[in-house]
Structure 1
């Protein structure tokens, strides 16, 4: 539906579906008054050169056109904070190379043809919201950690199969949307996203979640529907017997056998420092290289039970009937469940 043409002095100029004749004929005085310029649905192939004369512009919407390229005219908009260019024909070669020098805060390039993450976006240090959904992205570059101001990241509807652990280095990220991709696992490092409130992972290939996900104390929404973990779970008890070196190291660490640094070779000292404590709360064991991958259910919100991945020191730790009593297993689940109940919504259906 066509909006009414704005009155003189209005800071928003809406030319959606109206053509660009008035844009070219506008006085310089009027151009300086415009803070928001809306140009969607105008069948644009290139950005009109006259756009560069709107020097006070804060928002530019060029969505739903036929743009295959954004020229350097946009670099003249030094006050631009919001760029909306969704549903065009843009790809990783369509953006000016100096776009990263702009002080953009919101960029929406969803519904385009990006196969690779545009490097210019990784150079915008002021970027808070980035949307690249509905493209053809196959990966997330590790350099995403450089955009430290990022708060909202939308990458749904791509072909992404791997979440880089560097994503966890975004200190202010509060909303992460990775739905409708091909992701098979979640790196435990995501537990470092202490401000994360919403995590959308629905319609992927997840079969488990790392137990560290319980550390996301501010998480309010976790969307997991359409993943294999919702309808089935994977139990992998393949166990490679530990080496003699590891058995010796386990004995030293588990029994607290004292040793002095000068009594052992340097490489053995380093090895002993690599011991991982068994996460079983009733087990005092450790492991180094050989462990059991074990998937167990944890109660979320008293309604859903999700499979979380554990790495245990021995096959006995994975069975509540063996070295761990049924009571201790129950205690462990209560502890995990208490942490998980901080979540307000878990969307599985």
Structure 2
């Protein structure tokens, strides 16, 4: 069977079988030495209904492209490719039932499943501990599993063009995440835990259902690009006055925390010690109070880069912590200069 050397030239470990309309891959005409030396294999743009088991004869394969085929299943034999680092499988017919049980045992660093039929993120993918880039754009995902937080090496996560309505707080457990793409979904809010994404440089949230952002977004000091266009971000000052009175437990906890009453582990039951550790400081600079479960949702416009006014959600300890509802959102935004984002930090803010 005819095969083409890759652009790198003979001897560079590249075999290109792309665009040959293959139904199967025969390796009989390829020497054992050549199979052993091949590190990149291109099988894209063919008519493969399933991944040929003969692919596993390339024992040192590091890069495999099986995009733009008719694949509905990936065979168990792929787990024998112990050196495989990059798997590109875009634009096929794969879903959450298409992967072998032990797929998570691979040493993949880059995985691209965009343009398939996934309705759920396969849990096998959340076991790829070395994974640095995961792309599942243009699928039918309705949610992001909490197990996504297990991918501690992840630097890029692309989930644009799905049906996702919520972001799990576990996503904030990814210490190296630099590029997060969640555009073209149905997301209504961003979890405040995003403040822990210390490496985040680019956040794409355009074409969702956002009406506000958590104020914690301001703490992302490395964020350079923020895309928010196509969201129904509020255009006037909004204040939600639903407020449940604090419980006796919370009132006692507030007193202990706000007055710095000393206590020690031997003084209180473990569940009360844990409860006191959950105290949140009121963001109002004129208030020194804290809150636990009872708080007021308060949207305030703040200055982004001296050019944009964005609504950020605050959680205040009581209705008395904020000034009366202002008819001028701009003047209200200017009342808290500490909430503004320096103009030299964000390089691109896309709102419209």
Q: TM-score range by the shorter chain?
A: 0.7 to 0.9
Would you say the 8 A contact 1:143–1:166 is kept in 2? yes
Q: Specify which of 154, 162, 174 is matched with residue 178 of structure 2.
A: 174
Find the counterpart in structure 2 of residue 346 from structure 1.
349
Find the counterpart in structure 2 of residue 104 from structure 1.
108
Q: CA deviation at 1:230?
A: 6.2
Q: Against the structure 1 CA distance between its residues 141 and 329, is the aligned structure 2 distance closer, same or farther, given a 3 Å change threshold?
A: closer
Q: CA deviation at 1:73?
A: 2.4
Determine which structure has the larger helix proportion and give its number: 1
Normalising by structure 1, report the TM-score: 0.87
Q: Against the structure 1 CA distance between its residues 22 and 45, is the aligned structure 2 distance closer, same or farther, given a 3 Å change threshold?
A: closer
Distance between the aligned counterparts of 2:273 and 2:66, measured in 1? 61
Q: Specify which of 13, 16, 19 is matched with residue 18 of structure 2.
A: 16
Find the counterpart in structure 1 of residue 241 from structure 2.
237
Q: CA deviation at 1:340?
A: 7.4
Distance between the aligned counterparts of 1:26 and 1:269, measured in 2? 68
Deviations 1:300-332 (A, max 9, x none): 11111110011112223221689xxx9997452
Distance between the aligned counterparts of 1:28 and 1:257, measured in 2? 74
Find the counterpart in structure 1 of residue 76 from structure 2.
72
Q: CA deviation at 1:187?
A: 0.7
**SS of the residue 1:283 aligns to:** coil
Distance between the aligned counterparts of 1:338 and 1:155, measured in 2? 27
Deviations 1:262-292 (A, max 9, x none): 9x98688876665433211122233343321
Range that drifts further, 60-69 or 271-280:
271-280
Q: Specify which of 43, 48, 51 is matched with residue 47 of structure 1.
A: 51
Where structure 2 has 5 or more consecutive residues not aligned to the other structure, the ranges are: none
Q: Specify which of 301, 304, 311 is matched with residue 305 of structure 2.
A: 301
Find the counterpart in structure 2 of residue 139 from structure 1.
143
**SS of the residue 2:297 aligns to:** strand
Q: Against the structure 1 CA distance between its residues 251 and 70, is the aligned structure 2 distance closer, same or farther, given a 3 Å change threshold?
A: closer
**Alignment of 1:277 onto 2:281:** yes
**Alignment of 1:157 onto 2:161:** yes
**Alignment of 1:118 onto 2:140:** no
Normalising by structure 2, report the TM-score: 0.86
Structure 2 counterparts to residues 306-317 of structure 1, below 5 A? 306-317=310-321
Would you say the 8 A contact 2:303–2:333 is kept in 1? no
Task: Compute the RMSD of aligned alpha carbons.
Answer: 3.1
Distance between the aligned counterparts of 1:330 and 1:320, measured in 2? 15
Structure 2 counterparts to residues 198-277 of structure 1, below 5 A? 198-229=202-233, 234-243=238-247, 250=254, 254=258, 256=259, 275-277=279-281
Q: Against the structure 1 CA distance between its residues 191 and 12, is the aligned structure 2 distance closer, same or farther, given a 3 Å change threshold?
A: same
Would you say the 8 A contact 2:168–2:191 is kept in 1? yes
Q: Against the structure 1 CA distance between its residues 232 and 158, is the aligned structure 2 distance closer, same or farther, given a 3 Å change threshold?
A: farther
Distance between the aligned counterparts of 2:49 and 2:145, measured in 1? 29
Find the counterpart in structure 1 of residue 323 from structure 2.
319
- How many residues get paired? 341
Q: Against the structure 1 CA distance between its residues 317 and 132, is the aligned structure 2 distance closer, same or farther, given a 3 Å change threshold?
A: same
Range that drifts further, 308-317 or 181-190:
308-317
Q: Against the structure 1 CA distance between its residues 110 and 231, is the aligned structure 2 distance closer, same or farther, given a 3 Å change threshold?
A: farther
Q: Against the structure 1 CA distance between its residues 261 and 131, is the aligned structure 2 distance closer, same or farther, given a 3 Å change threshold?
A: closer
Find the counterpart in structure 1 of residue 152 from structure 2.
148
**Alignment of 1:82 onto 2:82:** no
Where structure 1 has 5 or more consecutive residues not aligned to the other structure, the ranges are: none
Q: Against the structure 1 CA distance between its residues 42 and 341, is the aligned structure 2 distance closer, same or farther, given a 3 Å change threshold?
A: same
